Amino acid sequence: MTTELEHREEIEIRTPQAIIKGFLSIPKNPTGIVLFAHGAGSSRLSPRNQHVAEILQQAGIATLLMDLLSEDEDRIDAFTGKLRFNIPFLAGRVDSATEWIFEHIEGSQLPIGYFGASTGAAAALVASIQRPEAISAIVSRGGRPGLADSILTEVKPPTLLIVGSEDTHVLEENQISLKKLTTTKKLVIIRGASHLFEEQGKLDEVAEHAKKWFLKYLATGEDCPHNHIDDYSFGHMKINGQEYDRDLMILGDEVRDDWRRKDGHLLAIEDLREIIRYQPDVLIIGTGQSGEMKVDPAAKEALQKQNINLVSIQTAAAVELFNNEVQKESKVAGVFHLTC
- pLDDT tens sequence across 119-140: 999 999 999 998 888 899 999 9
Name the H helices within the chain: 47-58, 71-80, 87-104, 119-128, 168-180, 202-217, 273-278, 297-305, 315-326
**Mean pLDDT in residue range 203-216:** 90
**Distance from C-alpha of 336 to C-alpha of 251, rounded to nearest angstrom:** 12
pLDDT of 106: 63
Is the CB of residue 314 less than 8 Å from the CB of residue 290? yes
Rounded Cα distance, 137 and 143, in Å: 15
Which domain does 51 fall in, by range?
5-217
Co-location of 113 and 233 in the same domain: no
Q: Output the pLDDT for position 222.
A: 47
Of 170, 188, 217, the one marking the end of a domain is 217
What's the confidence (pLDDT) of residue 63?
A: 94
Burial of 151 (0-12, 13-18, 19+ CB in 10 A): middle
Interatomic CA distance for residues 272 and 298, integer angstroms: 11
The least confident of 101-110, 204-213, 254-263 is 101-110
Query: Looking at 25-39, 144-158, 165-179, which range is the least confident one?
Result: 25-39
Percent of the chain's residues with pLDDT above 90:
52
What DSSP designation does 332 have? E
Examine the fold and report which residue of 217, 238, 270 is the final residue of a domain before the chain moves on: 217
- pLDDT score of 248: 93
Instruction: Check whether residue 157 and residue 23 sit in a common domain.
Output: yes
Task: With beta carbons less than 8 A apart as the criterion, state whether 224 and 215 touch.
Answer: no
The rounded Cα 289 to chain-centroid distance in angstroms is 35
State whether 21 and 113 are in the same domain.
yes
| Same domain? 156 vs 119 | yes
Check which CATH number belongs to the domain holding 178 and give it.
3.40.50.1820
User: Are residues 245 and 258 in contact, defined by beta-carbon separation less than 8 angstroms?
Assistant: no
Average pLDDT score over the chain: 87
Q: Does one domain contain both 24 and 156? A: yes
Instruction: Tell me how long the chain is.
Output: 340
Q: Give the Cβ contact number of residue 50 at 10 Å.
A: 15
Q: Mutual orientation of helices 87-104 and 119-128 as an angle, nearest 10°?
A: 60
Q: Please, what sign has the CA dihedral across residues 283, 331, 175, 189?
A: positive
How far is it, in rounded angstroms, from Cα 85 to Cα 26? 30
Reported as a pLDDT band with limits 50, 70 and 90, residue 1 is very low
Amino acid at 185: K
Number of domains forming the structure of the chain: 2
Measured CA to CA, the distance from residue 40 to residue 120 in angstroms comes to 7
Please give the angle made by the CA atoms of 163, 165 and 171, to the nearest 5 degrees.
50
**28 has a pLDDT exceeding 90:** no
pLDDT attached to residue 49: 82
Q: What is the CATH number of the domain that holds 318?
A: 3.40.1230.10
Boundary-marking domain end, from 189, 217, 245: 217
Q: Average pLDDT for residues 51-57, to the nearest whole number?
A: 91
pLDDT at position 194 over 60: yes
pTM confidence score: 0.65
Q: What is the pLDDT of residue 224?
A: 47
Statement: residue 73 has pLDDT above 90 = no
Domain co-membership, 201 together with 238: no
Q: What is the pLDDT of residue 318?
A: 95
For residues 196 and 234, state if they share a domain.
no
Contacts for 242 with CB less than 8 Å, ≥ 6 apart: 255
Do residues 181 and 313 both lie within one domain?
A: no
Of the candidates 69, 66, 111, 113, the residue with the CA atom closest to the CA atom of residue 89 = 69
- 247 closest CA partner among 334, 307, 313: 334
222 in a structural domain: no
SS3 of residue 16 by DSSP? coil
Q: What is the pLDDT of residue 274?
A: 86
Query: In this model, does residue 220 exceed pLDDT 70?
Result: no
Region 211-231: what's the mean pLDDT?
A: 73
194 and 286 fall within a common domain = no
Using the predicted structure, report yes or no on whether residue 252 has a pLDDT greater than 80.
no
Strand ranges (E), 216-317? 229-233, 236-239, 242-244, 248-251, 254-256, 266-267, 282-286, 294-295, 309-313
Q: How far apart are the first and last CA of the chain?
A: 40
State whether 274 and 164 are in the same domain. Answer: no
Question: Over 70: is that where the pLDDT of 330 sits?
Answer: no
Greater pLDDT, 163 or 44? 163
Angle, in degrees to the nearest 10, between helices 202-217 and 47-58: 50
